[in-house]
Structure 1
Amino acid sequence: VGYAGMKDARAVARQWMSVEHVDAERALALEIPRIRVLRAVRHPRKLR
Structure 2
Amino acid sequence: VIKNKASLLGMDVNDYILDCCIFNWAISDYINNRYAHSSVAQKKSSS
Q: TM-score range by the shorter chain?
A: under 0.3
The answer to which structure has the higher helix fraction is 2
Q: Greater RCO between the two (CA within 8 Å, min separation 6)? A: 1
The structure whose Rg is larger is 2
The answer to which structure has the higher strand fraction is 1
| TM-score, normalised with respect to structure 2 | 0.23
| TM-score, normalised with respect to structure 1 | 0.22
